A and B are shown apart, each in its own frame.
Chain A
Amino acid sequence: MSYEEVIFYFVAAVTVLGALGVVLTRNVVHSALFLILALLAVAGVFILLSAEFLAIVQILIYGGAVTILILFVMMLTRVRDMPQALDGPQRPFAALAAGAFLVLSVLAALSSDWPGETREITVVPFREMGEALFRDWAVPFEVASLVLLVALIGAIVLARGEEGE
């Protein structure tokens, strides 16, 4: 077993443990902390896939912004005060659906005949990626910035509250 495989299995185990913690723990704040763990481990997976830029973006946006936002909303909506409302009666059905999807998807991934190289990573130069993003993908890029602006204004309007409240 090469050292890369050892690192992969370690990072994968941390990712799965963190994700299981998110959906199974009874304490919602622990759930959010497990989410941070899982997201940082996914950043490690990105580095193993030689996508360092995405790993940094992942840590900044998810580890920094999204989880903090989630923790703030947990505080404001007092999720901790209603622990009995955490899980619904549909848990067996949920486990069944997730298990069925897992079996199907793993079988599909293992039995497919992928075109091209499936053993070696070809590192995409960071410079080429940036040029493609700002030339070939310039219009989607601008649309994405518009989406972010609309979401920003929308979130402010929604969360601000009415006049005289």
Chain B
Amino acid sequence: MIPIENFLVLSSILFSIGIYGVLARRNAVLIIMSVELMLQAVSINFIAFAVYLYPEQFTGLIFAIFVITIAAAEVGLALGIILRIFRNKGTSNVDEVDMLKW
């Protein structure tokens, strides 16, 4: 069988790649995509802990379902906001959206 550490290391790698994407990219859509990668890493961790350590409670599986649900809502709203900003400012580059800064 596969030890739990393999899954934890895989999710660490995935989360790190997501961190790099969020910090390095400047376009809001690409940042959302990197956030999705980080959410996937968290889901892998939740499910791994649920099926290895506490299979009689399996709270992690339920949490993974909620993570996917909330991620779908978040993507819908975030992309609506990006579309709105693009119409008002003509850009979806997060460095140029600085109306709250003076």
Contacts and interface: CB of A to CB of B under 8 A. Distances in A.
Contacts, number: 246
Interface string B11-40: 011111111111111110110111011001
B53 A114 contact: yes
- DSSP class of A's interface residues: helix, strand, loop or mixed? helix
B81 to A, nearest CB: 6
B97 interface: no
Contacts of B25: 23, 86-88
Contact of B19 (A22, A73, A101, A132): A101
Contacts of B91: 82
A51 to B, nearest CB: 5
Interface string A85-109: 1111011011101110110011001
Interface residues of A, number: 88
Interface residues on B, range: 35 or more
B27 A85 contact: yes
A109 B82 contact: no
Interface string B57-77: 010011011101111111111
B24 A94 contact: yes
B83 A159 contact: yes
A51 B60 CA distance: 11
- DSSP class of B's interface residues: helix, strand, loop or mixed? helix
A115 interface: yes
Contacts of A121: 1, 51-52
Interface in B70-102: 70-77, 79-84, 86-87, 91-93, 95
Q: A65, A99, A158: which has the most chain B beta carbons within 10 Å?
A: A158
Contacts of B32: 70
Given A23-B34, A144-B70, A87 B51 contact: no
Given A49-B44, A106-B9, A159-B80, 18 more contacts: A12-B10, A15-B10, A16-B13, A16-B14, A22-B21, A23-B18, A23-B25, A69-B79, A70-B32, A70-B75, A95-B20, A109-B12, A110-B9, A128-B58, A147-B73, A154-B77, A154-B80, A156-B80
Top 4 A-B pairs ranked by shortest CB distance?
Answer: A94-B23, A122-B55, A151-B73, A23-B21
21 contacts: A4-B2, A8-B6, A12-B6, A19-B17, A19-B18, A20-B17, A23-B21, A28-B29, A31-B33, A38-B14, A38-B40, A39-B40, A42-B14, A49-B51, A62-B68, A66-B71, A91-B24, A94-B23, A116-B52, A118-B3, A133-B62
